[in-house]
Amino acid sequence: MLKQKLAKTEVLVALAIVGLAIIFSVINPVFLSVRNLFDLLRSSIVMGMFALGVLVVIVSGGIDVSFTAIAVFAMYVTVKLLKAIDFQGTLLVGFVIAALIGLALGLINALFIARFKLSTLIVTLGTQSLFRGFLLFVVGSQLIRDIPDSMTSFAKLNLITIQTADGTLASLPAAVLLLAAAALVTWLVLQYTLLGRGIYALGGSREAAERAGFPIRRIQLFIYSFVGVLSGIAGLTYGSLNRQANPFDIVGSELDVIAAVVLGGAQITGGRGSVVGTLLGVFLVVIMNNSLILAGIPSVWQKVVIGVIIIIGTGIPAFQQRRAERRARIALAE
Amino acid sequence: MTTKQTASTPERHDGRVAFLAAAAPRRLSSVDVTLRRLFIIAVAIFVAMSLAQPDVFPTLDNFRSMSVQFPELGILAIAIMLTMLTGGIDLSVTAIANLAGILAALVLTRLVSEDAATGQAVGGIVAALLVALGVGLLCGLLNGLLVGYVGITPILATLGTLTLYTGFSTVITGGTAVFAVPQFLFIGDGDVAGIPVPLLIFAVLAILFSIILNRTAFGLKVYLLGTNPTATRFSGISNETVLLRTYLLSGLLGAIAGIIFLARNNAAKPDYGSSYILQAVLIAILGGVNPMGGFGTISGLVLAVLSLQFLSTGLNMLLIQYSGSNFFKEFAWGALLLLVMVIDYFPKLRLTRGKVATPGAGVPAPDPALEEDPQRSAHPR
């Protein structure tokens, strides 16, 4: 029954994407051009990586709003570090550094959530301020425009380059492979490992999971480290693709990511969610944001659209659940 | 001082009176300890800051300046407290404040010209205030409907409405600020009998909500709902209505805060006060409000907001030579929130009463003892 319901949400989201694609391509045929599709994919990379981390948190029944702070912290510190030692090698080293920073910050979250058993929203609200405040006060608040060459060459690395009808080149950055890898890893962990089963169990019912023998603390340690690592890598990718390290960036987009994850079928109370759904949700949000501009709607309306999406995307399942509850209660009473 | 024996007196047949009698003294005794500790904290911070900056901190000028700054935050904290008492949270209060302020500013600039006569100005100001409060009510209504009737988790519902309201503000202003008129500014700068207007507004609201929470049926229902929503449902209390009213009041308070924002800054922006949510949550929790619901007092909140104000002003003074003092404060509030939450974990040191926060959930877990119906969802809210 659960699998059926899951499949249902993802199908709905996929249908919504197709529907929107049809609408937008009618409004502005540019929508279906290769360049635009590549643009949409490019915009999905960073958000997608964030969303995968948030998915794991939400499936476990928690919520994390500090991942954007972790991302910008990791990005900025990595850039400063690489510049300080004038590192000329491959960006792989940069990604490892960013991942380690993200891991460390994620462990701080894990400490408060697993060890002290604090509410995840309030902890991550606190750590968001903690990390960002520390970054801006101690590390620095200067915009860095001349990022290391390794980052620039990574950003310019293209997976596919196609010559479009009007003679220009449309290219898909290789960074999309990072997203694919992250999605694969997340999917494997959630579907095929006991750890993944434990995450779903924790989200379903902490009591039941504990009694079934799942090591709750260790699972939570993994969850918040995982989202930390992903955020660190995503942050550095963001810096590369944007060709600058701005310590004031990224924070503020948490809601878009959470909206995407919830839209993709993940239940905020935990226990339900999938990688496919999340990726579809991200794509849907990206399409909405990017295509509003194509359709001629000013970007100031973006927030309104996202807000409506969150409300409808969470309202419908909640309402359905209430109706199901009421029916169950009535059935039991008879 | 207070006895716990009242609850077990066998002569009490009126269940409701017995309950009230049992509830009131029990809450009072534990609250006394919390209040005493908070009072000590507030005084300690005040003394520390006065010693650190003896020339500037304990001065009348500074008191006046502080007493104008904290009311807007305090009002937001009361709003957060209300929704926390029911076990939820309203993350959209600052967005409501901004939207209300923006609309009020627009009304003001349309109705009151800079050199208008007092009579006309008053009319315009009243209209602006009504518009702001109306906006607060509408936004609160939406929140209440989503949380109470549709049943969306408060975190997600208010995250969604936060985005929506900020979106509206951005659309209306085009992303920039809108301004008020000089005649309006007395709400932020003026005095009534020597007391600054914002402080007066806060004091009135604090007393009002203390009465609402402690002396009305609605207040009792709020506490009950936060403690155990399943029990309230089966006691005949309409959870939906209580939640609706709670979020309605929260929206209203947000609008009042927005009015003060506008009056003090002479401008309203879509993203003003983005760190206020964190601070308001910090104040609420420091003041003894349990985010899982059911416990918290206005007195604690007032002491907490004063403590935070002393700390904030003190930090500003101490860090004046460093350029990033705002960033340090951001760090400090985050650290303080975590510190307060961790202290709460240890029973001897606890500031809040009631359920300990359950991890892995931004949403409280149901009481397993009452869970008879396996088909009932984990979240009756």
Q: What is the DSSP string of B313-373?
A: HHHHHHTTTSTTHHHHHHHHHHHHHHHHHHHHHSGGG-SS-SPPPPTT-SSPPP-GGG---
* Residue among A61, A130, A141 minimizing CB distance to B360: A61
Could you give the count of Cα atoms lying within 13 Å of B330 in the half-sphere of its Cβ? 21
Q: Which residues of B touch A319 (CB under 8 A)?
A: 150-151
Least-confidence region, from A89-93, A166-170, A306-310, B186-190: A166-170
Q: Which pLDDT tens digit goes with each residue over A159-187?
A: 777 777 776 777 788 888 899 999 999 99
pLDDT band at B92 (very low <50, low <70, confident <90, very high): very high
CA proximity to B284, closest of B261, B260, B308:
B308
Q: What is the pLDDT of residue B355?
A: 64
Q: What is the DSSP secondary-structure string of A72-112?
A: HHHHHHHHHHHHHTT--S-HHHHHHHHHHHHHHHHHHHHII
CB spacing of B335 vs A202 below 8 angstroms: no
Q: How near does any CA of chain B get to the CA of A87, in Å?
A: 29
CB atoms closer than 10 angstroms to residue B9: 10
CA distances from residue B1 to B6, B28, B29, B98, B300 in whole angstroms, order as listed: 13, 10, 8, 45, 20
Interface test with A, best of B327, B345, B351, B352 (most A CBs within 10 A): B327
Look at residue B92 and give its three-state secondary structure: coil
- The C-alpha atoms of residue B266 and residue B244 are separated, in whole angstroms, by 32
Nearest CA in chain A to B335: A130
Cβ pair B286, B38 in contact under 8 A: yes
- The C-alpha atoms of residue A324 and residue B152 are separated, in whole angstroms, by 14
CB spacing of B360 vs A60 below 8 angstroms: yes
Q: Which fold has domain B27-352?
A: ABC transporter involved in vitamin B12 uptake, BtuC (1.10.3470)
- The C-alpha atoms of residue B153 and residue B15 are separated, in whole angstroms, by 33
CA proximity to B257, closest of B317, B193, B201:
B201
Q: How near does any CA of chain A get to the CA of B364, in Å?
A: 9
CB atoms closer than 10 angstroms to residue B141: 14
* Residue among A130, A270, A318 minimizing CB distance to B335: A130
- The C-alpha atoms of residue B58 and residue B76 are separated, in whole angstroms, by 26
- The answer to whether B335 faces chain A, any CB pair under 8 Å, is yes
Q: Decide which of A83 and A235 is more confident.
A: A235
- The C-alpha atoms of residue B209 and residue B81 are separated, in whole angstroms, by 11
Q: What is the DSSP secondary-structure string of B238-273?
A: -HHHHHHHHHHHHHHHHHHHHHHHHHHHSEE-TTTT
Q: Which residues of B touch A259 (CB under 8 A)?
A: 160, 163
Q: What is the pLDDT of residue A2?
A: 55
Q: What is the pLDDT of residue B378?
A: 40
CB spacing of A206 vs B361 below 8 angstroms: yes
Q: Which residues of B touch A129 (CB under 8 A)?
A: 275, 278, 330-331, 333-334, 337
Q: How near does any CA of chain B get to the CA of A302, in Å?
A: 7
Confidence check: pLDDT of B352 > 80: no
Q: Which pLDDT tens digit goes with each residue over B161-214?
A: 999 999 999 999 887 888 887 777 877 777 877 788 899 999 999 999 999 999
Q: What stretches of chain A show up as alpha helix (H) in DSSP?
A: 2-27, 34-59, 67-84, 91-110, 120-134, 149-156, 176-192, 194-204, 206-211, 216-242, 254-263, 275-294, 302-333
- Enumerate residues 117 to 176 of chain B having a beta carbon within 8 A of any beta carbon in chain A: 146, 150-153, 155-157, 159-168, 170-171, 174-175
Q: Which pLDDT tens digit goes with each residue over B257-276?
A: 999 999 888 888 888 887 89
- The C-alpha atoms of residue B57 and residue A262 are separated, in whole angstroms, by 48
- The answer to whether B42 faces chain A, any CB pair under 8 Å, is no
Q: Decide which of B376 and B342 is more confident.
A: B342
CATH of domain A2-333: 1.10.3470
- The C-alpha atoms of residue A333 and residue A326 are separated, in whole angstroms, by 11
Confidence check: pLDDT of B365 > 50: no
CB spacing of A137 vs B89 below 8 angstroms: no
Cβ-Cβ contacts under 8 Å between A and B: the total is 209
Q: What is the pLDDT of residue B374?
A: 40
Least-confidence region, from A285-299, B40-54, B295-309: A285-299
Confidence check: pLDDT of B245 > 50: yes
* Residue among B331, B342, B378 minimizing CB distance to A116: B342
E strand intervals along B125-211:
178-179, 191-192, 195-196
- The answer to whether B277 faces chain A, any CB pair under 8 Å, is yes
CA distances from residue A170 to A39, A177, A178, A293, B349 in whole angstroms, order as listed: 9, 17, 19, 19, 62
CB atoms closer than 10 angstroms to residue B110: 12
- The answer to whether B214 faces chain A, any CB pair under 8 Å, is no
CB spacing of B162 vs A307 below 8 angstroms: yes
Cβ pair B34, B288 in contact under 8 A: yes
CB spacing of A270 vs B361 below 8 angstroms: yes
Least-confidence region, from A27-31, A73-77, A91-95, B24-28: B24-28
CB spacing of B164 vs A207 below 8 angstroms: no
Confidence check: pLDDT of A4 > 60: no
Q: Which residues of A touch B329 (CB under 8 A)?
A: 133
Cβ pair B263, B184 in contact under 8 A: yes
Q: Which residues of A touch B324 (CB under 8 A)?
A: 136-137, 141
Q: What is the pLDDT of residue B31?
A: 64
How many residues are recorded in chain A? 334
Look at residue A235 and give its three-state secondary structure: helix
Q: Which pLDDT tens digit goes with each residue over B5-52?
A: 444 444 444 445 545 544 554 444 666 777 888 888 888 888 888 888
Domain ranges of chain B: 27-352
**Strand duo B267-268 + B178-179: pairing:** antiparallel
- The answer to whether B362 faces chain A, any CB pair under 8 Å, is yes
Q: Which residues of A touch B361 (CB under 8 A)?
A: 61-62, 119-120, 206, 269-270
Least-confidence region, from A87-91, A151-155, B14-18, B267-271: B14-18
Cβ pair B220, B228 in contact under 8 A: no
Least-confidence region, from A60-74, A141-155, A229-243, B68-82: A141-155
Q: What is the DSSP secondary-structure string of A24-69?
A: HHHH-GGGGSHHHHHHHHHHHHHHHHHHHHHHHHHHTT---S-HHH
- The C-alpha atoms of residue B315 and residue B33 are separated, in whole angstroms, by 28
Nearest CA in chain A to B323: A137
